[in-house]
Structure 1
Amino acid sequence: MTVPIATMKSDDKQPETLAILVGGGPAPGINGVIASAAIEAIKCGLRVVGIRDGYRWLVEGDTGHVVELKIEEVSRIHFTGGSILRTSRTNPARDEASLGRVIDALTVLGVRYLICIGGDDTTYGAARIAERTRGRIGIVTVPKTIDNDLPLPENAATFGFETARAIGAGIIESLMEDARTTSRWYLTISMGRKSGSLALSMCKSAGATLAVIPEEFQDKKFDLALVVDTIVGAIIKRRTSGHDDGVAVIAEGIAERMDVGSLASAADSHADAYGHVHIADIPLGIVLRDQVRAALKQLGIDATVLAKDIGYELRCAKPVPFDVDYTRTLGYGAVRHLLSGGSGVLIAVAGGRVTPVSFEQLLDPNTGRIRVRTVDVSTESYQVARSYMIRLELPDFEEPALSRLAEHAKLSAAAFKARFLPSVRATTDGS
C-alpha cells in the first residue's frame, strides 16, 4: 500500500490530526499499537494526539483530556504493559445524544483520522461513528482482547491473547505443582466473557487436568449442576488412577450461559455501559468451589478444593515478542490504510499482510452488533485438547470402567450412570 508522505490541509497548511484512543479492558500490546501508529503518522506529516480514557470524556463533550504524542515519547513504549492513554468502557453509542457529543468533540479537536484500539464493543462504537460521519473522519479499529473473540481473517489471534496465554499457562503450571505437592484441587476461573478460547488454550498449553468452556454445552442456557458434575466426575476419574490432585480451568463466560437462578449472587451484579453483566462481580469460583465441596461430601469423598481467579494479572503484562511484533504491524497498517483513503474497517493481519475487514462484515445481521468468535469444538485443535483432559467420557459408562468409577464414588453402577451421564451428554462430545 502506497500513500503520499505528507497530508496537509489546503487552506491553512497545518498538518491534519490523527487521534488514538483505547476502549475496553487492557491487553498486552496496546502501547505497541500506539507507538507504531504515532511514529508512522508523524513520519507521514500528521499531527498525532492521544485521547485519554477512551470515550469517557468525549461523550460529555469534554475535549480537555488530550495529549500530543511525539516520536521521542513513544519510541520505547512498545515493550511495556498497560496503556499510556489509559482506557475505559464508556459506550459512545449508548444513545444518539452521546454519539453526537462524541462527534462534535472530535470535530472541535480537528480530528481527521481516528484509530480506536479495542474489542467488539469498541469496534461497534467506532462503526456507529463511521456511519454518522460518512468519511469526514476516517476511522479504523485495531483488534485488542485477551479473550480472542473477534472474527478475524484466517482465525488470526487478537493482540494480547498470546501474552495472556503464555503468562496464564505459567501460573497454571505453578498451581499444578502446588496441587501435586499438597494433594488438592484448584478450580481456576479464566477470563473470557463470550469465548472459552483463553481458558482452553491455557489448559492445553500447561497440561491442566481439564477445561470447561461454554461452547461445549449444546443448549444456550444450562444449569450450574452440569458444570459441578463435570468437575466432580473428573476428580473421581483421576482418583481411580491414584491421584488426588488436579487443576480445572473454567471460562468465566459459563456464568452468562447459566440460568441466573443457579448462581447465588448473580442477582446482585450490575451491567456495564454495553449491557453486559459484570462477571467479575459474580464469585463464580467460590460458588463452584462450595458446590463441588458439597457434592464430594455427599459422596463421602475427602478432597481439598480451592478457587483461584486468573485474569486481571494478565491484562497489563509485558507483551511477549509475538505481540510486540504483531502490534507494530497493526499500528503501521492502521495509519497506511487511513492515508490511502480507507475508513470503516478493522485492521487485521492475514498471511503477513495487513487485511482490512469492513465493519459491515463484522456485524451480526440478527443483533446489529459485532459478531463474536467462539471456540469451534468440531476442530482437531479442540479435540486434541479434550483428548488430553481427564474427565468423564461416554466410554467411562461401559464396563469395566463403570464399576471401577462407581466404587470410588461409593455408588452402584446404575446410580453413578444416572448421576454423571447427563453432564457428559450435555456437552458436544456427548451428543
Structure 2
Amino acid sequence: MKRIGVLTSGGDAPGMNAAIRAVVRSAIYNGVEVYGIRRGYAGLLARDFVEMSLGSVGDIIHRGGTILRTARSEEFKTKEGMEKAVNNIKQLGIEGLVVIGGDGSFRGAAELAKRGVPTIGIPGTIDNDIPFTDYSIGFDTAVNTVVEAVNKIRDTATSHERTFIIEVMGRESGHIALYSGVACGAETILVPEKPYTIKGVCDKIMSGYKRGKLHSIIILAEGAGNAFEVGQKIKEMTGLETRVIVLGHLQRGGTPTAFDRILASQMGGKAVELLLNGVSDKMIGWVKGELVVTDLEKIFSAQKPLNEELYNLASVLAI
C-alpha cells in the first residue's frame, strides 16, 4: 500500500485533529503517502483532495474541530453517489481509507468496503453512542465542558436559590448527561434510556429544599425531553424559580482534553497499522483500557447501553 486517504464526517468532535495527525505521521513514517479529503463524503464526491505532509499536521493536536472540515452529503447515500466516490478514490490511487466519525460515517465506510475500498473507522463523536467502544473521541472533552459550565451556573443558582435545568447534547443517548451529572454533583439526571415523571423530579427537588438546599441542578439529555417544557412544569408544580440553559454546540468545541488527544493518537496510529496489514471494514474501539477491532456491520445492529452501575450510583449520591 503506497497511498491512503483520511476524512472526517458528521458532527465535529474535539480530538479529531489529533487523530488526523496520527494517521498522517504514522503513514509517512511507514513510507505511505496520505491525502486528506476535505468536507467528508461531500468532498470525496467533489474531489476535494489535498496531499498531507508532516508539516501540514503540525500544531493541530491541541485544536478542536477538524482541519479537514466536515459536511453532510445526501448524494453520497445514492447508488450513483457511491459509484462516483469509488471512481474518484481509484483515480487518485488511494488504496485505503480512514474514516473518522460516528454511525452515519461508518455506514458510508462499510458501503465503500463492499465496493472494494479498504476502510478503517475511528469513532469520533461527543455523543459516545457508538457500541463496542467505551469511549469515542470528543466525549471526554464534551463532559468536561459541561462540568465547567455547571460549576459557573451553580454559583448563580445558589445566590438566587433557583432550580436550573441544563440541557446537554447526545441525540438519543444519555452518556454526556450521566457522566457530567455525576461529575458536577447534579441532584437529578434525566436520560432517554430511563423513564421518569415530572412529579418524581419535583418530589426530589422539594425534599432537598426542606432539608436546607439552596438550589437544585438538573442535567437533561436532549433526547429525554424539551428542557423548556420540563422547566415550566416544574415551576408550576413547585412554585420555585426555574431557569433553563441549553448548552448546545458549545459542547462540540474547545481544546481536547489529554485523554481525548491520547485516545485519538492511539486510534490513528492503529488505523494505519491495520490498513498496511490488509485489514478492512473494521472499527477501532477502546475497551477496558485496550484497543480492540470490531466488524463495522456489528455496530449497526447493536446499541450502546447506559452505564447502569454509574446511573444507580448517581441516584444514591443525590439523596
Verify same fold: TM over 0.5: yes
Contact 2:41 2:76 in 1 (8 A): no
Corresponding residue number in structure 1 for 2:8: 22
Corresponding residue number in structure 1 for 2:266: 329
Relative to structure 1, is the Cα distance of residues 251 and 381 closer, same or farther in structure 2, using a 3 angstrom cutoff?
same
Contact 2:165 2:245 in 1 (8 A): yes
Match of 1:121 among 86, 92, 104: 104
Contact 1:120 1:372 in 2 (8 A): no
For residues 193 and 148 of structure 1, the distance between their equivalents in structure 2, rounded to whole angstroms, comes to 10
SS, match of residue 166 in structure 2:
strand
Note the 1:153-192 alignment, pairs <5 A.
153=133, 156-192=134-170
Contact 1:211 1:249 in 2 (8 A): yes
Match of 1:237 among 196, 201, 207: 207
For residues 211 and 80 of structure 1, the distance between their equivalents in structure 2, rounded to whole angstroms, comes to 30
Contact 2:103 2:130 in 1 (8 A): yes
Contact 2:35 2:49 in 1 (8 A): yes
For residues 164 and 185 of structure 1, the distance between their equivalents in structure 2, rounded to whole angstroms, comes to 23
Corresponding residue number in structure 2 for 1:152: 132
1:97 is the counterpart of 2:97? no
Corresponding residue number in structure 2 for 1:346: 283
Note the 1:368-383 alignment, pairs <5 A.
371-377=302-308, 380-383=309-312
1:248 is the counterpart of 2:241? no
TM-score by length of 2: 0.94
Greater relative contact order (CA < 8 Å, ≥ 6 in sequence):
2
For residues 227 and 126 of structure 1, the distance between their equivalents in structure 2, rounded to whole angstroms, comes to 40
Note the 1:48-59 alignment, pairs <5 A.
48-58=34-44
1:35 is the counterpart of 2:5? no
Percent identity of paired positions between Structure 1 and Structure 2: 28
SS, match of residue 253 in structure 1:
helix
Cα displacement string for residues 359-385 of structure 1 (whole angstroms, at most 9, x for unaligned residues):
132231xxxxxx3313143xx222111
Give unmatched runs, 5+ long, in structure 2. Answer: none
Relative to structure 1, is the Cα distance of residues 351 and 235 closer, same or farther in structure 2, using a 3 angstrom cutoff?
closer
Shift of 1:148: 1.2
Shift of 1:288: 2.3
Cα displacement string for residues 119-143 of structure 1 (whole angstroms, at most 9, x for unaligned residues):
111111111111122xxx2101101
For residues 214 and 42 of structure 1, the distance between their equivalents in structure 2, rounded to whole angstroms, comes to 44
Match of 2:198 among 228, 238, 243: 228
Shift of 1:69: 1.0
For residues 26 and 360 of structure 1, the distance between their equivalents in structure 2, rounded to whole angstroms, comes to 23
Cα displacement string for residues 336-365 of structure 1 (whole angstroms, at most 9, x for unaligned residues):
00000000000123455432111132231x
1:216 is the counterpart of 2:185? no
For residues 75 and 127 of structure 2, the distance between their equivalents in structure 1, rounded to whole angstroms, comes to 22
SS, match of residue 56 in structure 1:
helix
Cα displacement string for residues 211-270 of structure 1 (whole angstroms, at most 9, x for unaligned residues):
0111112xxxxxxxx543343223222222123411100011124xxxxxxxxxxxxxxx
Cα displacement string for residues 278-321 of structure 1 (whole angstroms, at most 9, x for unaligned residues):
xxxxxx2223223333333xxxx2x2111101231121210111
Contact 2:5 2:34 in 1 (8 A): yes
1:287 is the counterpart of 2:229? yes
Relative to structure 1, is the Cα distance of residues 172 and 337 closer, same or farther in structure 2, using a 3 angstrom cutoff?
same
1:86 is the counterpart of 2:84? no
Shift of 1:109: 2.4
Contact 1:19 1:115 in 2 (8 A): yes
Q: Which has the larger radius of gyration?
A: 1
Relative to structure 1, is the Cα distance of residues 91 and 355 closer, same or farther in structure 2, using a 3 angstrom cutoff?
farther
Shift of 1:158: 1.1
Corresponding residue number in structure 2 for 1:315: 252
TM-score by length of 1: 0.70
Note the 1:294-313 alignment, pairs <5 A.
294-296=236-238, 301=239, 303-313=240-250
SS, match of residue 115 in structure 2:
helix
* AA aligned opposite 2:28: I
Give unmatched runs, 5+ long, in structure 1. Answer: 1-6, 8-15, 218-225, 256-283, 365-370, 391-431
Relative to structure 1, is the Cα distance of residues 25 and 227 closer, same or farther in structure 2, using a 3 angstrom cutoff?
farther
Q: Larger % of strand: which?
A: 2
Relative to structure 1, is the Cα distance of residues 24 and 246 closer, same or farther in structure 2, using a 3 angstrom cutoff?
same
SS, match of residue 150 in structure 2:
helix
For residues 89 and 291 of structure 1, the distance between their equivalents in structure 2, rounded to whole angstroms, comes to 36
Contact 2:43 2:49 in 1 (8 A): no
Corresponding residue number in structure 2 for 1:420: none
Cα displacement string for residues 121-175 of structure 1 (whole angstroms, at most 9, x for unaligned residues):
1111111111122xxx21011011111111125xx21121111112211211221
Match of 2:46 among 58, 62, 66: 62
SS, match of residue 307 in structure 1:
strand
Corresponding residue number in structure 1 for 2:178: 200
SS, match of residue 41 in structure 2:
coil
Corresponding residue number in structure 2 for 1:260: none
Contact 1:92 1:102 in 2 (8 A): no
* AA aligned opposite 1:33: A
SS, match of residue 214 in structure 1:
coil
